[in-house]
Structure 1
Amino acid sequence: MTTDQILTSERADLLDALHKHRELFRFTVRGLSDEQAASRPTASELCLGGLIKHVTATERQWCDFITDGPAEQPDVDWANIDWSNPPAEVIEYQNGFRMLDGETLAGLLASYDEAATDTDTLLAHVDLDARQPLPEAPWNPPGVTWSARRVFVHLVAEIAQHAGHADILRETIDGQKSMG
């Protein structure tokens, strides 16, 4: 097997994993109304529309990371937030997990499809060994870098994890399950 065949096979495997988990994730919202997608049927603050927004943003942010390196982080002391009056950056972050007035499930899914297409295009062409330093954050050890390959594996895990969250929410709404 040549190096080109190995890389082609590796890219195909990554793309297949992304497609599989995106399909499971999207299945959880099939046939829902905007009101159902915005509902929070469990003790969690999560809603299905908010999960779609979050995964869309996650794909975009990690693809930007691959091409541009770590983004500037907002200067927020997450450990000492005054929750009665949170800073705008915190509200913006929280809104990334909510379906806001005027947002529709169809619109969120269209945005997700655009992000997925951009991710797939990047995966087809990027040097999988290209590395970027992780942003400085309490949860990232200093000096750690990730390859593009590692980012794509992380995206598969993110989508799969949130598909599980979505499945629980959907089952709570109307009993539908992705599997089983």
Structure 2
Amino acid sequence: MAGTYTPVTLPFTVDGEKEDLLTLLADQRGLFKVTLRDVTEEQARQRTTVSELTLGGLVKHLATGEQGTLQELVERDDTAEFDMAAAAHAYDLTDDETFAYWVEEYDRAAAALDDYVAKVDSLDELIPQMTAPWQPKREWWTIRKMLLHKLRETAHHSGHADIIREALDGQSTMAALYEGPDPSEWGIE
């Protein structure tokens, strides 16, 4: 599939809608990873805006989101409830965690989720979603909707990460992606 910002080669053969969704999700993850490029452990924990968000916290949140989506797909538990206490540090690195670990875990979790989705028979399969304060009634989503939600969530937090990174050291994700010519030479007005 053409039209990605990052080089994407899926490690399995799929076609049609599944190929499109997994390629676009991989591309968005790739953009997020460009934002994390060359970030140190100290920088990953640094707040650069008025929010509490950090680059390390965002990668941890996205990694646990990938893990959670895979868990929902595999377990298909129609009694599952979101554990608010377990999410207390969902957006920050604790003292015993490292940025490098969560970057690696993000890659592992994303690959495991993609591999699972590549093998499902249909994106129309209905999967029970856990209840949560923001979703108190049980909902059943298609695998397609779950992937679209994952794409939206990744893009949303990629935007946060880009702002944090620009405030940290001036790096813009798109400029870093296209290292070379001055951004003013891109022909974008």
Q: Is the 8 A contact 1:66 1:131 kept in 2?
A: no
Q: Is the 8 A contact 2:125 2:143 kept in 1?
A: yes
* 2:72 aligned partner: 65
Tell me which amino acid in the other structure corresponds to 2:172. K
Secondary structure in structure 1 of the residue aligned to 2:127: strand
Tell me which amino acid in the other structure corresponds to 1:150. K
* 1:16 aligned partner: 23
Identity %: 39
Deviation at 1:136, TM superposition (A): 3.0
Q: Distance in 1 between matches of 2:132 and 2:64?
A: 19
1:174 to 169, 175, 182: 169
Structure 1: gaps of 5 or more residues: 1-6, 77-88
Tell me which amino acid in the other structure corresponds to 1:170. R
Q: Is the 8 A contact 1:66 1:151 kept in 2?
A: no
1:161 to 156, 161, 164: 156
Secondary structure in structure 2 of the residue aligned to 1:59: helix
Tell me which amino acid in the other structure corresponds to 1:25. F
Higher helix fraction (1 or 2)? 1
Residue correspondences, number: 159
Secondary structure in structure 2 of the residue aligned to 1:73: coil
TM-score w.r.t. the length of structure 1 is 0.81
Secondary structure in structure 2 of the residue aligned to 1:146: strand
Q: Distance in 2 between matches of 1:31 and 1:138?
A: 37
Whether 1:124 and 2:118 are equivalent positions in the alignment is yes
Residue 99 to residue 142, structure 1, CA distance change in 2 (3 Å): closer
Q: Distance in 1 between matches of 2:116 and 2:171?
A: 34
Tell me which amino acid in the other structure corresponds to 2:51. S
TM-score w.r.t. the length of structure 2 is 0.77
* 1:101 aligned partner: 95
Deviation at 1:143, TM superposition (A): 5.1
- If asked which structure has higher relative contact order (CA below 8 Å, sep 6+), I would say 1
